[in-house]
């Protein structure tokens, strides 16, 4: 289905969700064992390596990392029932869950630094599964492989003289820059806030949840 409109609030929502993931992933990378929490590709590869070298502790930990990410996606699926974006769905609930999981990660990091990041993995699973499709476009706000692939495809189509939907490219660029800026912000604040830097994406998630509830209830009143 082609894009007819790309509302500003949709662009801002995608930007800030990607920014949130960018911050959380960088904070995971700089705090404990350079652990990625927003995407699982590298973690599954590390799990295979740990299995081949028979490192039981690492096997258990990486298995839990992947499991927590999957469980986060499970929560989104259970709460929303559909990954296609629609204003009628209560996205404020999973966004609040993201904020709560990040706060739990922050709370446990001083005591159980490695396993505290499991909460962050769960949060990213929740966020990534919230919205997977928007008007025919696959949307992932916690990693960039698909975004960069689609941008490369669009460039190839343009060079062939084929038609490319400009709004679709804009959405992917918004996600790319949001994730990148989130990484920059986390890199800047971590030297000053240390582990308290995790409270910044937690507050951002809570703010996005609150703003969405305002949009949601206004939409419901219009529909009535």
pLDDT of residue 72: 94
pLDDT of residue 136: 56
pLDDT of residue 2: 47
DSSP states of 21-35: HHHHHHHHHHHTTT-
Q: Quote the CA–CA distance of 19 and 183 in Å, as a whole number.
A: 7
pLDDT of residue 41: 86
pLDDT of residue 150: 87
Question: Is residue 89 scored above 90 in pLDDT?
Answer: no
Name the token pair of 96.
Answer: 């609040």
Residue 131 in 3-state DSSP?
coil
Q: Is 36 within 8 Å of 43 (Cβ atoms)?
A: yes
pLDDT tier at 1, thresholds 50, 70, 90: very low
Residue 196 in 3-state DSSP?
helix
DSSP secondary structure letter of residue 133: E
Q: Quote the CA–CA distance of 16 and 76 in Å, as a whole number.
A: 18
Average pLDDT over residues 66-87: 86
Question: Is residue 5 scored above 80 in pLDDT?
Answer: no
Answer positive or negative: Cα dihedral of 13, 109, 116, 50: positive
- Fold entry, domain 8-223: Growth Hormone; Chain: A; (1.20.1250)
Segment 20-74, tens digit of pLDDT: 999 999 999 988 767 788 888 888 999 999 999 999 999 999 999 999 999 999 9
Please report, to the nearest 10 degrees, the dihedral formed by the alpha carbons of residues 107, 111, 115, 118 taken in order: 10
Every domain of the chain and the residues it spans: 8-223
Residue 134 in 3-state DSSP?
strand
pLDDT tier at 142, thresholds 50, 70, 90: confident
Q: Quote the CA–CA distance of 18 and 102 in Å, as a whole number.
A: 15
Q: Quote the CA–CA distance of 185 and 21 in Å, as a whole number.
A: 11
Segment 147-188, tens digit of pLDDT: 899 899 999 999 998 888 888 888 889 999 999 999 999 999
């Amino acid at each position: 289905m082609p894009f007819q409109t790309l509302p500003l609030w949709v662009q801002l929502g995608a930007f800030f969700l990607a920014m949130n993931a960018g911050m959380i992933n960088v904070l995971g990378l700089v705090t404990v064992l350079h652990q990625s929490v927003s995407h699982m590709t590298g973690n599954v590869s590390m799990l295979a390596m740990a299995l081949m070298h028979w490192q039981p502790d690492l096997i258990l930990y990486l298995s839990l990392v992947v499991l927590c990410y999957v469980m986060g996606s499970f929560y989104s699926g259970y709460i929303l029932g559909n990954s296609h974006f629609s204003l009628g769905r209560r996205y404020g609930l999973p966004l609040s869950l993201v904020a709560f999981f990040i706060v739990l990660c922050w709370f446990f990091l001083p005591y159980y630094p490695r396993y505290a990041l499991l909460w962050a993995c769960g949060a990213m699973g929740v966020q990534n599964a919230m919205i997977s499709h928007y008007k025919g476009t696959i949307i992932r706000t916690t990693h960039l492989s698909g975004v960069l692939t689609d941008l490369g495809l669009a460039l190839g189509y343009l060079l062939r003289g084929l038609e490319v939907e400009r709004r679709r490219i804009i959405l992917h660029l918004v996600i790319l820059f949001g994730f990148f800026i989130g990484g920059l912000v986390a890199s800047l604040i971590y030297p000053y806030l240390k582990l308290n830097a995790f409270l910044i994406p937690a507050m951002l998630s809570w703010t996005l949840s609150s703003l969405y509830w305002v949009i949601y209830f206004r939409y419901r009143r219009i529909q009535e």
